[in-house]
């Protein structure tokens, strides 16, 4: 099964000139979804126990939980500002047209825990970099960053100080 067959191109979304890579067909196909989760879990290093998997809001939640289950790890949601109910640590980061803020519960990670970051797409790397910094701030150690797809031409991996793996590269 070629997972690339389950990625739909949508021209001019969210703005003119952008070719959006839509993962919805992959998520809606049971076999493709399972294969993607298995592949991402299989990319994790076997010599380091992953304690927690971070899923970045919102699409990172979908496979993040599946990967955590396969690794015998806990799952932690990183959410946009104001969505988590307990005390949080926040990190703001720049977007193409403005700024956004991500948050994690202050007690989600114990110092020294090994963390896997997961999200659907690695583009410019700003979101993943902010999450990486949040993890370090609460004492976690980022072991790896996993993505369903990576837009190589945007060089997002250059912002991450950990191994980066993706199922699909464009």
Annotation says 79 is catalytic: no
How many Å apart are CA 139 and CA 111, to the nearest integer?
4
Of 59, 70, 136, 137, the active-site residue reads 59
Enumerate residues 6+ apart whose C-beta is below 8 A from 116. 44, 50, 52, 53, 54, 67, 71, 73, 142, 143, 144, 145, 146
Of 31, 70, 96, 150, the active-site residue reads 96
Annotation says 157 is catalytic: no
Residues making up the chain, counted from first to last: 170
Q: Which residues have a catalytic role annotated?
A: 59, 96
């Amino acid at each position: 099964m070629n997972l690339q067959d389950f990625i739909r191109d949508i021209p001019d979304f969210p703005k003119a000139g952008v070719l959006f890579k839509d993962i919805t067909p992959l998520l809606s196909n049971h076999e493709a979804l399972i294969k993607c989760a298995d592949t991402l879990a299989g990319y994790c290093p076997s010599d380091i126990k992953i304690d927690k998997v971070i899923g970045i809001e919102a699409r990172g939640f979908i496979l993040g939980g599946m990967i955590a289950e396969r690794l015998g790890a806990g799952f932690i949601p990183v959410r946009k500002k104001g969505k988590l109910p307990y005390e949080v640590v926040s990190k703001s980061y720049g977007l193409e047209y403005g700024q956004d803020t991500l948050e994690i519960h202050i007690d989600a990670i114990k110092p020294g825990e090994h963390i896997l970051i997961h999200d659907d797409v690695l583009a410019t790397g700003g979101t993943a970099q902010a999450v990486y910094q949040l993890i370090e701030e609460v004492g976690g150690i980022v072991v790896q960053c996993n993505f369903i797809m990576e837009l190589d031409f945007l060089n997002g991996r250059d912002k991450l100080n950990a191994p980066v793996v993706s199922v699909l590269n464009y």
